[in-house]
Structure 1
Amino acid sequence: MSTLLSLRDVWVEYGDKIVIEKLDLDIHARSFVSVVGPSGAGKSSFLRLILGQEAPTRGTISLDGQPLVPECGPDRGVVFQRYSVFPHLSALRNVVLGMECAQAPFSARLFGSARRAAEEEAAEMLKAVGLGDSLHLYPAQMSGGMQQRLAIAQALVKRPRILLLDEPFGALDPGIRADMHLLIRRLWAEYALTIVMVTHDIREAFTLGTRVLAFDKRRHDPHAPHRFGATVVYDLALRERSDETAEKIKSITLDEIGNN
């Protein structure tokens, strides 16, 4: 597999607080990377770096060998735990709006044939995520699972290469969550996506990912806890694994990862 995203000696600091330190990492195209670790270990900061919402304090990030510009681009989509949908718009309008912002950034409106084409594409995307019969429903008329499917459609309609998921299924009940797992794996394959997903659910991380990264601090100083940042302390590829590795995966816990 080719390397899509590279981070070299990346640090994130807020004032005198170090959040991430000395992060060196390559992410391959079309991989599904699960990110786990305790609260405060820099997982969300890591996603913001990839999304372009913020730049590293030190170090470099490159996408396809080119410096990653610290701004959100159409090649990266994101889905959050809280449904990032517009309550006053129908499902179809929610998805079309994302296309309007991308294609007409100043007016955020499309007209004539361009608008019809956008609506057709939006309807196809909603069908792809299982909302083909819900085009004209509003978020308040949808279940939590439906709203998260809508958020995924919003992200994918702009055809990103990288999809970032920040605890996307944490608020869903187990049955709906299992359905969403099937959906995201299907979309990952069909759209040739590279996915980076933050989750607190270890089982989810190992079930969905082709690779699991655990973030935590290698060093702790009780007198200055803010002066040491997190980095990757555990990195496991999950495909073509041996039976011995599979047994290790079954027994692993967040505490074990955090102590590595």
Structure 2
Amino acid sequence: MSELIIKNVWKEYGDQIVLEKVSLTVASRAFVALVGPSGCGKSTFLRMLLGQEQPTRGTILLDGELLSAEPGPDRGVVFQRYSVFPHLTVLANVLLGKELMASKFKAKLFGAARRAAIGEARQLIAEVGLSGAETKYPAQLSGGMQQRLALAQALIMKPKVLLLDEPFGALDPGMRAEIHTLMKRLWDETQMTVVMVTHDMREAFTLATRVVAFERPRDRPEEKQRYGATITRDISIWPPRLAGQNSIYGPDRDDPVVSLGQYRDGPAPSGEK
């Protein structure tokens, strides 16, 4: 399970209030898009979910437990700026999380554990559409391919919650549409909850199960220091979208006919790879 419960969260920096009275429950396997004007605290909220920052007041629970004070493998993150390591190949980038978990100092796996991790990494690389690029470096990849790599890098740890901070904003429209299709499939096929910050309303309503808007109800210049942003809209998408299930009006237009998740643990059907 991967339910998030945010209770009366405030975030302040000295005398400046960034967020106030934020309460939200995100069901397990939901896909929530956070929207709102620049500077209203969306990315700050995401960093609190990641554990990079702590609430000034209030609590954040993951599956009924207080969120740990530091980022952990239960939360993956993909930023707008590609967060891959330029000196590592595609395969090494995806393997790194597993290696760090095995040994924080040497960052290496050995023997059977390494072979199993490489097999898992190669499968994930193929699923995000980078098969054949395992030995390439990020500089040899297009922007869309680097973002696919960043997704694989986050997903190798099987996070309960995937956090996306405007991850597709720098992509051209055609590449963004491809990544949207990939993101829908990955969400369908895994057990994770997704929380995404975006300025693109079309993107929010295309991908999410809910769209949550942050705004400052008091936004005059003299009020910005003493009043923070809060949730002003919480819109559930209709018809409802559920991970792993088609819409009640049939599958989405760009959903694949056959999902890789249908045969993830076994051989592909004849003619599939």
Q: CA deviation at 1:220?
A: 2.8
Q: Which residue of 1 aligns with 2:122?
A: 123
CA RMSD, Structure 1 to Structure 2 (Å): 1.3
Q: CA deviation at 1:194?
A: 0.7
SS of 1:106's partner is coil
1:90-111 CA distance string (max 9 Å, x none): 1000011111112222321112
Q: Which residue of 2 aligns with 1:106?
A: 105
* 8 Å CA contact retained: 2:31, 2:208: yes
Residues 3 and 128 of structure 1: is their aligned pair in 2 closer, same or farther, counting only changes over 3 Å? closer
Q: CA deviation at 1:171?
A: 0.5
Counterpart CA distance in 2 for 1:20 and 1:224 is: 13
* 8 Å CA contact retained: 2:8, 2:59: yes
1:183-210 CA distance string (max 9 Å, x none): 0000000012210000010100001111
Matching of residues 36-55 of structure 1 within 5 Å = 36-55=35-54
* 8 Å CA contact retained: 1:212, 1:238: yes
* 8 Å CA contact retained: 2:2, 2:160: no
Q: Which residue of 2 aligns with 1:22?
A: 21
Residue 156 of structure 2 corresponds to residue 157 of structure 1: yes
Q: Among the aligned pairs, what percent are the same residue?
A: 60
Residue 72 of structure 2 corresponds to residue 78 of structure 1: no
Q: CA deviation at 1:7?
A: 0.8
Task: Extract structure 1 runs of 4+ deviating beyond 3 A.
Answer: none
Q: Which residue of 2 aligns with 1:253?
A: none
* 8 Å CA contact retained: 2:2, 2:193: no
1:144-189 CA distance string (max 9 Å, x none): 0000000000000000011000001000000000000000000000
User: Which structure is higher in helix share?
Assistant: 1
1:71-127 CA distance string (max 9 Å, x none): 101111000001101111110000111111122223211122221211111111101
Residues 151 and 9 of structure 1: is their aligned pair in 2 closer, same or farther, counting only changes over 3 Å? same
SS of 2:225's partner is helix
Q: Tell me whether 71-80 or 107-116 shows the greater mean CA deviation.
A: 107-116
* 8 Å CA contact retained: 2:9, 2:22: yes
Q: Which amino acid aligns with 1:175?
A: G
Q: Which residue of 1 aligns with 2:142?
A: 143
Q: CA deviation at 1:224?
A: 3.6
Q: Which residue of 1 aligns with 2:4?
A: 5
1:22-45 CA distance string (max 9 Å, x none): 111100011110111001100001
SS of 1:227's partner is coil
Q: Which residue of 2 aligns with 1:239?
A: 238
SS of 2:3's partner is strand
* 8 Å CA contact retained: 1:3, 1:26: no
* 8 Å CA contact retained: 2:86, 2:138: yes
Q: Which amino acid aligns with 1:182?
A: T
Q: Which residue of 2 aligns with 1:206?
A: 205
Give me the TM-score of the superposition, normalised by structure 1: 0.89
Q: Which residue of 2 aligns with 1:217?
A: 216
Structure 1: gaps spanning 5 or more residues: 242-260
Q: Which amino acid aligns with 1:143?
A: S
* 8 Å CA contact retained: 1:89, 1:138: yes
Counterpart CA distance in 1 for 2:226 and 2:102 is: 44
Q: CA deviation at 1:3?
A: 7.5
SS of 2:135's partner is coil
Structure 2: gaps spanning 5 or more residues: 241-273
Counterpart CA distance in 2 for 1:3 and 1:150 is: 24
Q: Tell me whether 165-174 or 64-73 shows the greater mean CA deviation.
A: 64-73
Give me the TM-score of the superposition, normalised by structure 2: 0.85
Q: Which amino acid aligns with 1:98?
A: G
Counterpart CA distance in 2 for 1:232 and 1:155 is: 28
Q: CA deviation at 1:131?
A: 0.7
